[in-house]
Amino acid sequence: MLTAILIMALGAVVLGAALGFASIKFKTEGNPLVEKIEAILPQTQCGQCGFAGCKPYAEAIAAGEADINRCPPGGQEGVAKLADLLGREITPLDAEEKPKQLAIIDEHTCIGCTLCIQACPVDAIVGAAKQMHTVVSALCTGCELCVKPCPVECIRMEVIGESLETWKWRYPIFEIKRAS
Protein backbone atom coordinates (compact mmCIF):
# COMPACT_ATOMS: atom_id res chain seq x y z
CA MET A 1 0.00 0.00 0.00
CA LEU A 2 2.71 2.37 0.98
CA THR A 3 4.76 1.58 -2.10
CA ALA A 4 1.71 2.25 -4.21
CA ILE A 5 1.23 5.64 -2.67
CA LEU A 6 4.90 6.43 -2.92
CA ILE A 7 5.12 5.45 -6.54
CA MET A 8 2.06 7.39 -7.50
CA ALA A 9 3.40 10.40 -5.62
CA LEU A 10 6.73 10.03 -7.36
CA GLY A 11 5.00 9.89 -10.72
CA ALA A 12 2.99 12.97 -9.86
CA VAL A 13 6.11 14.89 -8.89
CA VAL A 14 8.02 13.93 -12.03
CA LEU A 15 5.17 14.72 -14.39
CA GLY A 16 4.33 17.91 -12.55
CA ALA A 17 7.91 19.08 -12.83
CA ALA A 18 7.97 18.32 -16.55
CA LEU A 19 4.74 20.23 -17.12
CA GLY A 20 5.87 23.15 -15.05
CA PHE A 21 9.06 23.37 -17.04
CA ALA A 22 7.13 23.22 -20.31
CA SER A 23 4.70 25.91 -19.29
CA ILE A 24 7.61 28.30 -18.81
CA LYS A 25 9.52 27.19 -21.85
CA PHE A 26 6.55 27.31 -24.26
CA LYS A 27 4.79 30.33 -22.88
CA THR A 28 2.56 32.06 -25.45
CA GLU A 29 1.33 35.59 -25.52
CA GLY A 30 -1.35 37.38 -27.39
CA ASN A 31 -3.86 35.82 -29.65
CA PRO A 32 -3.25 36.01 -33.40
CA LEU A 33 -6.71 34.60 -33.89
CA VAL A 34 -8.33 37.95 -33.18
CA GLU A 35 -6.84 39.36 -36.34
CA LYS A 36 -8.11 36.47 -38.41
CA ILE A 37 -11.58 36.91 -37.00
CA GLU A 38 -11.50 40.62 -37.51
CA ALA A 39 -10.51 40.14 -41.13
CA ILE A 40 -13.80 38.34 -41.69
CA LEU A 41 -15.96 40.98 -40.00
CA PRO A 42 -17.27 43.62 -42.39
CA GLN A 43 -15.80 46.58 -40.49
CA THR A 44 -18.98 48.61 -40.53
CA GLN A 45 -18.28 49.37 -36.86
CA CYS A 46 -22.04 49.48 -36.43
CA GLY A 47 -22.19 47.95 -32.99
CA GLN A 48 -25.20 45.81 -33.86
CA CYS A 49 -23.40 42.88 -32.29
CA GLY A 50 -23.50 44.61 -28.94
CA PHE A 51 -19.81 45.44 -28.95
CA ALA A 52 -18.25 48.80 -29.63
CA GLY A 53 -16.91 48.02 -33.06
CA CYS A 54 -15.62 45.06 -34.98
CA LYS A 55 -12.41 44.54 -33.07
CA PRO A 56 -14.02 44.21 -29.65
CA TYR A 57 -16.44 41.71 -31.14
CA ALA A 58 -13.55 39.78 -32.66
CA GLU A 59 -11.85 39.72 -29.29
CA ALA A 60 -15.02 38.49 -27.65
CA ILE A 61 -15.38 35.71 -30.20
CA ALA A 62 -11.78 34.66 -29.78
CA ALA A 63 -12.23 34.55 -26.04
CA GLY A 64 -15.32 32.44 -26.50
CA GLU A 65 -17.52 35.07 -24.91
CA ALA A 66 -19.66 35.88 -27.92
CA ASP A 67 -21.52 33.84 -30.47
CA ILE A 68 -20.47 34.02 -34.08
CA ASN A 69 -23.95 34.86 -35.34
CA ARG A 70 -24.32 38.39 -34.11
CA CYS A 71 -23.08 40.41 -37.05
CA PRO A 72 -26.00 41.41 -39.30
CA PRO A 73 -23.91 43.24 -41.93
CA GLY A 74 -21.74 40.16 -42.32
CA GLY A 75 -24.85 38.12 -42.91
CA GLN A 76 -25.24 34.39 -42.89
CA GLU A 77 -22.19 34.15 -45.07
CA GLY A 78 -20.07 35.84 -42.44
CA VAL A 79 -21.35 33.34 -39.92
CA ALA A 80 -20.37 30.51 -42.23
CA LYS A 81 -16.88 31.92 -42.65
CA LEU A 82 -16.40 32.34 -38.94
CA ALA A 83 -17.71 28.85 -38.32
CA ASP A 84 -15.24 27.58 -40.87
CA LEU A 85 -12.33 29.42 -39.28
CA LEU A 86 -13.17 28.40 -35.76
CA GLY A 87 -14.44 24.92 -36.48
CA ARG A 88 -17.80 25.71 -34.93
CA GLU A 89 -21.22 24.76 -36.14
CA ILE A 90 -22.99 27.21 -38.42
CA THR A 91 -25.85 28.84 -36.55
CA PRO A 92 -28.57 31.02 -38.02
CA LEU A 93 -27.92 34.73 -37.92
CA ASP A 94 -29.25 36.35 -34.78
CA ALA A 95 -30.94 39.18 -36.70
CA GLU A 96 -32.50 39.99 -39.97
CA GLU A 97 -30.21 40.15 -42.95
CA LYS A 98 -30.34 43.48 -44.76
CA PRO A 99 -29.11 44.46 -48.16
CA LYS A 100 -26.23 46.89 -48.29
CA GLN A 101 -27.31 50.44 -47.60
CA LEU A 102 -26.11 53.97 -47.90
CA ALA A 103 -27.02 56.91 -45.70
CA ILE A 104 -28.50 59.90 -47.49
CA ILE A 105 -28.90 63.30 -45.83
CA ASP A 106 -31.84 65.34 -46.99
CA GLU A 107 -30.04 68.59 -47.51
CA HIS A 108 -33.15 70.72 -47.34
CA THR A 109 -33.94 69.55 -43.84
CA CYS A 110 -30.43 69.36 -42.42
CA ILE A 111 -29.79 72.03 -39.83
CA GLY A 112 -26.08 71.53 -39.56
CA CYS A 113 -25.97 70.27 -36.00
CA THR A 114 -22.90 68.01 -36.56
CA LEU A 115 -24.39 65.26 -34.41
CA CYS A 116 -24.21 62.80 -37.25
CA ILE A 117 -20.61 63.73 -37.92
CA GLN A 118 -19.78 62.72 -34.39
CA ALA A 119 -21.74 59.53 -34.70
CA CYS A 120 -20.14 58.38 -37.93
CA PRO A 121 -17.48 55.81 -37.06
CA VAL A 122 -15.65 56.11 -40.36
CA ASP A 123 -15.70 59.89 -40.95
CA ALA A 124 -17.92 59.50 -43.98
CA ILE A 125 -19.98 62.64 -43.27
CA VAL A 126 -18.61 66.02 -44.07
CA GLY A 127 -20.00 69.38 -43.09
CA ALA A 128 -19.66 72.14 -40.54
CA ALA A 129 -21.78 73.55 -37.76
CA LYS A 130 -24.85 75.37 -38.98
CA GLN A 131 -24.09 74.21 -42.47
CA MET A 132 -25.59 71.32 -44.27
CA HIS A 133 -23.86 67.97 -44.04
CA THR A 134 -23.53 65.33 -46.62
CA VAL A 135 -22.44 61.72 -46.85
CA VAL A 136 -19.42 60.72 -48.90
CA SER A 137 -21.07 57.71 -50.44
CA ALA A 138 -17.89 55.83 -51.24
CA LEU A 139 -16.96 55.80 -47.58
CA CYS A 140 -20.34 55.08 -46.03
CA THR A 141 -20.60 51.58 -44.58
CA GLY A 142 -24.34 51.74 -44.07
CA CYS A 143 -24.09 51.25 -40.31
CA GLU A 144 -27.11 53.46 -39.51
CA LEU A 145 -25.37 54.98 -36.50
CA CYS A 146 -26.04 58.47 -37.84
CA VAL A 147 -29.78 57.99 -38.23
CA LYS A 148 -30.74 58.13 -34.56
CA PRO A 149 -28.73 61.17 -33.44
CA CYS A 150 -30.25 63.45 -36.10
CA PRO A 151 -32.67 65.77 -34.30
CA VAL A 152 -34.66 66.57 -37.40
CA GLU A 153 -34.74 63.07 -38.86
CA CYS A 154 -33.23 64.10 -42.13
CA ILE A 155 -31.08 61.00 -42.65
CA ARG A 156 -32.52 58.00 -44.42
CA MET A 157 -30.97 54.73 -45.48
CA GLU A 158 -31.17 53.73 -49.10
CA VAL A 159 -30.48 50.30 -50.49
CA ILE A 160 -27.62 50.42 -52.96
CA GLY A 161 -28.81 49.34 -56.38
CA GLU A 162 -26.86 47.39 -58.95
CA SER A 163 -24.81 49.00 -61.66
CA LEU A 164 -23.01 47.44 -64.59
CA GLU A 165 -19.85 47.53 -62.50
CA THR A 166 -21.30 45.75 -59.50
CA TRP A 167 -23.69 43.47 -61.35
CA LYS A 168 -23.22 39.83 -60.54
CA TRP A 169 -23.98 36.73 -62.53
CA ARG A 170 -26.76 34.87 -60.83
CA TYR A 171 -26.64 31.40 -59.40
CA PRO A 172 -27.95 29.17 -62.15
CA ILE A 173 -31.32 27.95 -61.09
CA PHE A 174 -33.13 25.62 -63.36
CA GLU A 175 -36.58 24.49 -62.51
CA ILE A 176 -35.94 20.82 -62.95
CA LYS A 177 -39.47 20.07 -61.89
CA ARG A 178 -41.08 22.19 -64.50
CA ALA A 179 -38.78 20.90 -67.17
CA SER A 180 -39.54 17.28 -66.53
Partner 1 sequence: MTFTTPPYLTQDVSVRRIMLHVLAALVPAIAVYVALIGPAVLVQLGIATLVALLGEAAMLKLRDKPLALFLGDGSAVVTAWLVALAFPPLAPWWLITVGTLFAIVIAKHLYGGLGQNPFNPAMIAFAVCIVAYPSLMSQWPPVDAGNGIGEQLALIFGQAPRLDAMSGATPLDALKTALKGADSGLTVASVLDNRAVFGHVGGKGWEWVSLAYLVGGLWMWQRKIIGGQVSAAFLAGMALIATALWLLHPDQFANPLFHLVSGGTMLGAFFIVTDPVSGCTTPRGKLIFGFAAGLLAYIIRVFGGYPDGVAFAVLLLNICAPLIDHSTQPAIFGMKK
Partner 2 sequence: MLQLFKFKGGVKPETHKAPSLQAPIAKAPLPEQLIVPLHQSIGGVPQPLVEVGQHVLKGQRIGAADQWVSAAVHAPTSGTVIAVEPRLAAHPSGLTTASVVIAPDGREEWIDRQPVDYHTLAPERLREHLRDAGVVGLGGAVFPSHAKLSAAKSVPMEELVINGAECEPFMTCDDLLMRERAEEIVRGITVFRDLLEPRKVLIGIEDNKPEALQSMREAVARLGVDFTVTAVPTRYPAGGAKQLIRVLTGKEVPASRRSPEMGVQCFNVATAYTAWRALAFGEPVISRIVTLTGNVETPRNWETLLGTPLGEFIRLGAPKPDTDRYLMGGPMMGFEMPGLEAPLVKASNCIIAGSPALFPPPAPEMPCIRCGACAEACPHELQPFELYWFSRARNFGKTQEYNLFDCIECGCCSYVCPSHIPLVQYFRFAKSEIWARERDKNQADAAKSRFEFRNERDEREKAEKAERLARAAAAKATEKPAAEKPAATVPAEETPPANAPVDADAAKKAAIAAAMERARLQREAAQVKNTDNLSTEQREEIARIDARRARAPAHQAVEQTDVAPPPAQEQ
Partner 3 sequence: MTHYLFLIVGAVLVNNVVLVRILGLCPFMGVSKKLETALGMGAATTFVLTLATGASYVIDHFLLIPFELDYLRTISFIVTIAAIVQLTEMVIQKTSPVLHQVLGIYLPLITTNCAVLGVPLLNVANKHNFVESLLFGAGSAVGFSLVLVLFAGIRERIDGADVPPPFRGVAIALVTAGLMSLAFMGFAGLDKYQ
Indicate which of partner 2, partner 1, partner 3, none lies near residue 125 (CB less than 5 to 8 Å, by partner kind).
partner 2
> Distance between CA atoms of 139 and 33, rounded to whole angstroms?
27
Instruction: By CB under 8 A, tell whether 164 contacts partner 1.
Output: no
Q: Yes or no: say if 113 and 134 are a contact pair by the CB < 8 Å rule.
A: no
Instruction: By CB under 8 A, tell whether 92 contacts partner 3.
Output: no
Contacts of 175 (CB under 8 A, 6+ apart): none
Indicate the residue type of 38: E
Q: Which of 80, 86, 132, 157 binds partner 3 (CB under 8 A)?
A: 86
Residues 126-145 that bind partner 2 (CB under 8 A): 126-132, 134, 136-139, 141
- State which residue, 29 or 96, has the beta carbon closest to partner 3: 29
Measuring CA to CA, which residue among 164, 100, 108, 110 is closest to residue 137? 100
Backbone angles phi, psi at 124, to 5 degrees: -95, 0
CB of 14 to partner 3, least distance (A): 9
- State which residue, 164 or 173, has the beta carbon closest to partner 3: 173
> Distance between CA atoms of 107 and 104, rounded to whole angstroms?
9
Residues that bind partner 3 in the complex, under the rule CB under 8 A: 3-4, 7-8, 11-12, 15, 18-19, 22-23, 26-28, 31-33, 36, 86-87, 89
